[in-house]
Amino acid sequence: MTLGPMLEPVFHEDSYGYRPGKSALDAVGKARQRCWRYDWVLDLDIKGFFDNIPHELLMKAVRKHTDCKWTLLYIERWLKVPVQQRDGRLTDREKGTPQGAVISPLLANLFLHYCMDEWLRINYPDCPFERYADDCVLHCLTEQQAQQLREDLKARLKACGLEMHPEKTKIVYCRDEDRRKTYPNMSFDFLGYTFRSRKSRNKQGKHFTGFLPAVGDKAKKAIRERVRAWKLTGRSGSSLSRLAEEINPVLKGWINYYGHFYKSELQEVLGYLNLVLKSWARQKYKKLRGHKVRASDWLGRVAKAVPNLFAHWQLGVRP
């Protein structure tokens, strides 16, 4: 299962210098900091990005980094290889990068670097941004600046053969304790996290409202669906320790990624797994069948006796 974004990022600091090796969490963390300093965000969505990259412009970008004729030849052949339909027909490929190949995200990042990143550096040097593959958010000081950026960037993408999604691209107001205006859009999603106003507490214990990221609704839904797909209630022949051994690697992946910021939101989702484990216990032990409270008490005693059995129990999400 995919625990978090898998593509290598193109991630920019304020200087717009490349920071290779940075993770998606670094991009989320930088977006979090910048949302404190900038009141507005342009949440960018490129319509059908991987399917619409023009081959000619992409190869032009590749040639800036290599003049090896064999490399250029094989990349161009790979881009243009026909697609075989289910009925056996071959369809010529005139644009886009084939999905599933390792080199596809690399070439896509290279294309966006010249198509968008460098253009932003020159034309909007005071609007920092985070981009991870084609997931991008741009920070603006005013609503007017965000509106102008949206129009100019739309024209730039069009000139490069791409289209800004008219519905999914939106201007967002970062509402918090000090920024109390209302606006149609006051949240956005980035790399599986939802950024919006949330209650928080500072180091001195004082409560305040901040514009903060937490595991997003889509990620929560995916986690619950994954837990259901395990079909644990039908595995009454397995021991609890065996179940923990199998699912802990996935749980740790969720915790490490989605629990990095505003952990309490993830804890609420992982509590669903405890409900499933209670159902498993009622199926496995005759004395617990038909007794939800008894099953809950039994699982609670196990969690108290072996608190490190499941990764989410170690996090404090216990029955």
pLDDT average per 10 residues of sequence, the chain (319 residues): 35 38 85 97 96 95 94 92 82 83 88 96 96 94 98 98 97 96 97 95 83 96 96 94 97 96 94 96 93 95 96 95
Residues 108, 189, single domain; the answer is yes
Residues 125, 251, single domain; the answer is no
Residues 153, 236, single domain; the answer is no
Is the pTM for the entire model greater than 0.75? yes
Residues 88, 100, single domain; the answer is yes
Residues 124, 38, single domain; the answer is yes
Residues 174, 294, single domain; the answer is no
Q: What is the rounded distance in angstroms from the CA atom of residue 310 to the CA atom of residue 242?
A: 11
**Domain end (from 166, 195, 214):** 214
Residue 89, pLDDT score: 86
Residues 175, 283, single domain; the answer is no
**Domain end (from 182, 214, 246):** 214
Residues 81, 201, single domain; the answer is yes
Residue 22, pLDDT score: 60
Residues 141, 261, single domain; the answer is no
Say if residue 218 is exposed, middle or buried (CB neighbours under 10 Å; 0-12, 13-18, 19+): exposed
**What is the CA angle 158-162-167, rounded to 5?**
90
The domain tally of the chain equals: 2
φ, ψ of residue 66 in degrees (nearest 5): -155, 145
| Domain enclosing residue 202, as ranges | 2-214
**Domain end (from 168, 188, 214):** 214
